[in-house]
Amino acid sequence: MSGQHPYRAVISPVPAGIARPLWSVMIPTYNCAAYLRETLTSVLRQDPGPAVMQIEVVDDHSTRDDPEAVVAAVGNGRVSFYRQPHNVGHIENFATCLQRSRGRLIHLLHGDDCVRDGFYRTMQTPFLAHPEIGAAFCRHIFMDEDGHWQGISPLEQKRSGVLENWLERLAVEQRIMTPAMVVRREVYEAVGGFDARLVCSEDWEMWVRIAARYPIWYEVQPLAVYRMHRDSNTGRHVGTGEDISYTHQAIDIFTQYLPDELADRVSRRAKETYALSALETVATLLARGDRRAAAAQIRAALGCRRSPRVLRRLFPLLVRFAMNQTRVR
C-alpha cells in the first residue's frame, strides 16, 4: 500500500521550517453550524495553546448556515477558518483537513461531534511513550441530535494498551467512530487520504488500512462523543440502502490488505454482519411505516450476503413487509 493511489489524496509532509505543534485538531463542517458551538467549546476547554495545538475549521461551502460566524463568536481569534471555494464533497474536504494540518498528531473531529475533558491530555500519552503505534482511539459515547446520551461502545479490552489481533476484529465490524481516533500525521503521509470511491464507510476502510501496517493503542476511558442524527452522512443514505452498499464496497477494498489466510473468511463474516445490520434497520423502518426505505435496505442486505443466517432473518421481515402493504391498501 502506498500513499500514491488514484482514489486517495496525497498527504505531503509539512515543509521544513514550518512550526510543528503536537496537535492538529481539524474540524470538517458542512451545514452543521447548529452543532459546531458545542464541538468547538469541547476542544477549547482543553486548549494547551497555539504552540501545542492547531485548531481549524474546514468548511465544505455550507449553504444553509454560517459556520464562520460560529468560529468567530466561540473561537475569539483562537480558531482558524477555511472555506472551500465550492462544495467538494466530504472526502475531498477531509483531504483538505489533512493537507492543511501541521501537527504531529491529527484529530479529525466532525463538526457535529465533540470530546470530553481530558481527551487530548490522555490521548497524547501513548504516542509519546510508544513511537511504534500509528494511531490510538478511545471508547466513545453515542448521543442523539439533542445531545442526550444513548449508549456507550463496548470495551475492546479491560486495560488501556496496544490491541492484540486487532486487524481481524476491526475488519469484521467497524468499531471506531471518527471523533475517538487520533492518527500520526506521518501515517496519513504513508497511506494517503480517505478513499474517494466511498461515500459511507470511508472511515472504516481507513482504519483497517492503518491497522494493517501499524500497532493501534486503545484507551478504555470514554472520551469522545459521536452524534447520531438523520442529517449525518450515514443517516442520509439509509433511505436508499446506499449505507450498506458502500459498506459492502469498503469490505471488498480492504480485503486486499488482509493476510491471505484471513481474507476470505473475514470478508464473508463482515458482509454477513452488515447484511444482518441492514435487516435490523428494516425492522425499525417497518415500525415507522417507511416501506420504501425498508425495501431498499432489504435489497442492500441481499446484495451484501445471502448466507443461511441472513435468509432466516429475512423471512419474518418479508411477512411483516407484506402485512404492512396490506394495511396500507
Q: What is the 3-state secondary structure (H, E, C) of the chain?
A: CCCCECCECCCCCCCCCCCCCCEEEEEEECCCHHHHHHHHHHHHCCCCCCCCEEEEEEECCCCCCCHHHHHHHHHCCCCEEEECCCCCCHHHHHHHHHHHCCCCEEEECCCCCEECCCHHHHHHHHHHHCCCCCEEEEEEEEECCCCCEEEECCCCCCCCEECCCHHHHHHHCCCCCHHHEEEEHHHHHHHCCCCCCCCCCHHHHHHHHHHCCCCEEEEEEEEEEEECCCCCHHHHHCCCCHHHHHHHHHHHHHHHHCCHHHHHHHHHHHHHHHHHHHHHHHHHHHHHCCHHHHHHHHHHHHHHCCCHHHHHHHHHHHHHHHHHHHHHC
The pLDDT of residue 220: 98
Print burial letters for 260-280: b (CB count within 10 Å at least 16), e (below 16).
eebeeebbebbbbbbbbbbbe
Q: Are 158 and 76 within 8 A, CB to CB?
A: no
pLDDT for 328 equals 46
pLDDT of residue 55: 98
Q: What is the pLDDT of residue 5?
A: 87
Give the confidence band of 1 by pLDDT, cuts at 50, 70, 90: very low
Q: What is the mean pLDDT of residues 51-63?
A: 98
Phi then psi for residue 85, to 5 deg, are -65, -20
Tens-place pLDDT, residues 281-310: 999 999 999 999 999 999 999 999 999 999
Whole-number pLDDT of residue 228: 87
45 backbone φψ class: left, alpha, beta (φ>0; ψ -120 to 50): alpha
What CATH fold (topology level) applies to the domain 23-229? Spore Coat Polysaccharide Biosynthesis Protein SpsA; Chain A (3.90.550)
Q: What is the per-residue pLDDT across 225-236, written as a single tens digit (0 to 9) for each?
A: 999 876 655 566
Q: Taking the domains of the chain in order of start, what are their residue ranges? A: 23-229, 238-328
The pLDDT value recorded for residue 253 is 97
pLDDT of amino acid 35: 96
Report residue 321's pLDDT band, with 50, 70 and 90 as the boundaries: confident
The contacts of residue 185 (CB under 8 Å, 6+ apart) are 11, 14, 24, 98, 101, 103, 104, 105, 106
At 302 the pLDDT is 96
pLDDT in the model for residue 237: 79
Average pLDDT score over residue span 152-173:
96
Q: Name residue, grid cell 470538517.
A: 28
Residue 2 has pLDDT above 70, yes or no: no
Find, among 100, 93, 91, the residue nearest to 67 by Cα: 93
* First and final C-alpha spacing in the chain: 54
Average pLDDT over residues 214-233: 88
Confidence of residue 327 (pLDDT cuts 50, 70, 90): low
pLDDT, mean over the chain: 94
The residue with cell 496537535 is 23
pLDDT in tens, 88-145: 999 999 999 999 999 999 999 999 999 999 999 999 999 999 999 999 999 999 999 9
Position 310 scores a pLDDT of 97
If pLDDT is split at 50, 70 and 90, which confidence band does 324 have? low
Q: Residue 35 class from Cβ within 10 Å (0-12 exposed, 13-18 middle, 19+ buried)?
A: buried
How confident is the model over 103-117, as pLDDT tens digits?
999 999 999 999 999
